[in-house]
Amino acid sequence: MNVPERLRVAGLRPVWRALHERLSSGHQVSRVKVTGLADDQQAAVADLLGLDRYPGPSITIDVARLEGVLGGLDVRTVTEQLIGPLDDRRRRRAERRLEREALLDWFAAHPVVAAEPALLALSAVRAGRDLLEQALAVLAALPASGRPLAAVAADVTGDPHALDEGTRLSSLVLKALSVLYDVPAPEDAQARRALWERAGVACDALSTTVLVAGLRPAGHSALARVLRIWDGQASVITLAQLRETLEVRERDVWVVENPTVLALAQQRFGTSCPPMVCTSGWPNSAAIRLLRSLPGARLHYHGDFDGEGLRIAAYTMAKTGAEPWRMSVADYLRALADRPPGDLPPGRVTDAPWDPGLAPAMRTHGVAIPEELVAERLLDDLA
């Protein structure tokens, strides 16, 4: 159908857009309100409808009257020609509702859910059928009698990484396990590991590691002897090796966020490096377990001065009892004055529990200070 040029003028575009929005609702439309009309658009509307004056910035148009001035053309057809195909949101909502109801019926009737009615609580989770099927298949395979997590994932899904931390499937299965065992949903790596182990899954304690330097613990455990042989050199400790406490001779243990700081400490101090632990960003369960397994040691933590760094610091201190180390507002402002040219934004900054003034100062200045930029000052403390 050819739409006359008089209906294609730019001043009438708000009318056709408003009609397109209303007609796409799926409901019967007898009137449409058009707002925000500029003077030229008011003139175009007045000309179209045969008004004796401008309608003003807003007008409610009777659809029947509009069709009367279209010369026998259909409002819906003209609108589609000028704006594009109409939607039917009412029909789509009804279809989605029916699909959701069918999914819930299928879920409730699934043998795993029928055997464990508590799993009906998962019906509130917005997940597709494929993901729910995989999650229920994993639950059906549990308890896993000590099989590693990657092996369980491979057995059920064909992908050994399907249950890796952070995947939607892993999150859904862990939520289901928390429902089955009537425990809070896990909020950190240790809680997730504990939940998997309760379901008979042997988590991969070999690939979860923590970087250390300067540790020369006393005692006769294999780990203590190996660390003494390394004589303070940088070492990687696996979670599997952290089976008992480590008695460090030194009173203070220095904890950093970034491996570069630990590497610089090794360069400066060599085999005289003080005891150091690197979380490498967010501390994993190996880092947390190590820091908790150093009885009598005073832990000092430093990380990046940015939004994520503050959250990592707060988490590490809360989980291990570490104290802030050069992480005050005064330390931030001093580092800010010494920084090289160029501003790095700090991202979303949340409050620092150990210093109420730190987060406001970072928000005010809007500059992040990576830990590497203050590394030499940190190493001076160690010296």
At 90-142, the pLDDT tens digits run: 999 888 888 788 877 888 888 888 888 888 888 777 778 888 999 999 999 98
The first and second tokens of residue 306, run together, are 């940015």
Which pLDDT score is estimated for 267?
Answer: 95
Q: Give the helix ranges, DSSP H, for the chain.
A: 5-8, 13-23, 39-49, 63-68, 75-83, 89-109, 111-115, 129-140, 149-157, 168-180, 189-198, 222-230, 259-269, 285-292, 307-320, 329-338, 358-365, 375-382
What CATH number does residue 229 fall under? 3.40.1360.10
Q: How far from each other are the two terminal CA atoms of the chain, in whole angstroms?
A: 84
The pLDDT value given to residue 124: 74
Average pLDDT value over all residues in the chain:
90
Model pLDDT, residue 315: 87
- CA–CA separation, 334 vs 323, rounded Å? 20
Describe the strand order of the beta sheet including 298-302 as a list of residue ranges: 235-238, 209-213, 276-278, 252-256, 298-302, 323-324
Domain finish residue from 87, 122, 156:
87
**Residue 181 — pLDDT band, cuts 50, 70, 90?**
confident
Question: How much is the average pLDDT of 341-370?
Answer: 93
| Residue 256 and residue 377 in one domain | yes
Q: What is the pLDDT of residues 295-354, one digit of tens each?
A: 889 999 999 999 999 999 998 999 899 999 999 999 999 999 988 877 899 999 999 999
Same domain, 163 and 225: no
Residues 235, 191: one domain? no
Checking if the pLDDT of 42 tops 80, the result is yes
Arithmetic mean of pLDDT, 20-44: 93
CB 112 within 8 A of CB 176: no
Q: SS3 for 345?
A: coil
Does 203 reside within a domain? no
C-beta separation of 11 from 40 below 8 A:
yes
Predicted local confidence at residue 166, as pLDDT: 84
Q: In terms of domains, do 131 and 53 share one?
A: no
Residues 253 and 312 in one domain: yes
Q: Is the pLDDT of residue 64 over 80?
A: yes
Shared domain for 142 and 33, answered yes or no, is no
Output the six-digit token pair for 22: 């209303």
Q: What is the pLDDT of residue 321?
A: 95
* Total of domains in the chain: 3
Q: Is the pLDDT assigned to residue 6 strictly greater than 70?
A: yes
Residues 6+ apart with CB under 8 A from 320: 255, 288, 291, 292, 299, 301
d(CA 77, CA 20): 10
Domain match, 172 and 275 both: no
Q: How many CA atoms lie within 13 A of 170 on its CB side?
A: 22
Whether 323 contacts 298, CB under 8 Å: yes
Indicate whether 257 and 158 sit together in one domain: no
pLDDT digits 0-9 by tens, 8-17: 999 999 999 9
Residue % of the chain over a pLDDT of 90: 60
Contact 125, 175 (CB under 8 A): yes
Helix (H) or strand (E) holding 59: strand 59-62
What's the gap between Cα 254 and its chain centre?
29
- The neighbouring-strand residues paired with 31 are 62
Q: What is the number of residues in the chain?
A: 383
Q: Is residue 337 part of a domain?
A: yes
24: tokens are 């796409």
Q: Within 13 Å, how many C-alpha atoms sit on residue 14's CB side?
A: 20
pLDDT score of 322: 97
Instruction: Tell me which residue range forms the domain holding 109.
Output: 90-198
Q: Is pTM, for the whole model, over 0.75? A: no
The pLDDT > 70 percentage for the chain reads: 99
pLDDT attached to residue 41: 95
Give per-residue pLDDT as tens, 206-255: 777 899 999 999 999 999 999 999 988 999 999 889 888 898 888 999 99
Confidence of residue 1 (pLDDT cuts 50, 70, 90): low
Q: Say whether both 72 and 170 belong to one domain.
A: no
